[in-house]
Structure 1
Amino acid sequence: MELVHLDRSMVELMQGPVAVRHGETRLDVVLSLHQQIVVTCRDGEFHAAKVLWIDDTEGEPVYYLHVGVRLPMEQAAQRLTDVDMLPENRTMHELLDLLAQLRDDARHPQDR
């Protein structure tokens, strides 16, 4: 899993899909559609994120990210290691993702 630092506040990241040019990611690899990543914000927080769509009409890819739940450092580190997690850790990550989905549904009930 990839780690991307975004020079934006946590509040900015929570306002909807975040557009990020590939050059901003400082990654050597190109992200793919629906790829799960971890992002950090200007506030130093870790968040789960997912690539919703990619616009490559201007040459350099622009990723539109859904930034989800804030991750405690331990969970962020587990996601970044790419090591098979123990079942109890997978359950925690699934719970964190579910909480993020419920939060988003509560913010945007018309999208259900």
Structure 2
Amino acid sequence: MVDALSDMGLAYLHTIGDPASELITDLAHRFAGIHIVSNGWDPVTDVTAAQNLISSGKADLVAVGRAFIANPDLVHRWQTGADLNQPDGTTFYGGDHRGYTDYPTLSDDAA
């Protein structure tokens, strides 16, 4: 199926699981486009893991959903080495605004 999808010119392939596994490696080699990796659900991907996945050639991009939900300024935090907010999984994907709009940014912390 990935061979057929690759021939269709899709923008990217997004895989979830161990990027070093035989299955994910095979899928990535078969797909001609961009490969976005999510290494699964545990642990939350940190900057070192993301950099290692890209530098090792296991990914073109790395999905970091929970880290971004908890840190609306994640790129800046990673660039400066600042501490991260910890994600609260009990607020994910349902309910109300809690967990999506109430995590502080570094500029909030300084205020």
Q: State if a TM-score over 0.5 links the two structures.
A: no
Q: Which has the larger radius of gyration?
A: 2
Normalized against structure 2, the TM-score is what?
0.30
Normalized against structure 1, the TM-score is what?
0.30
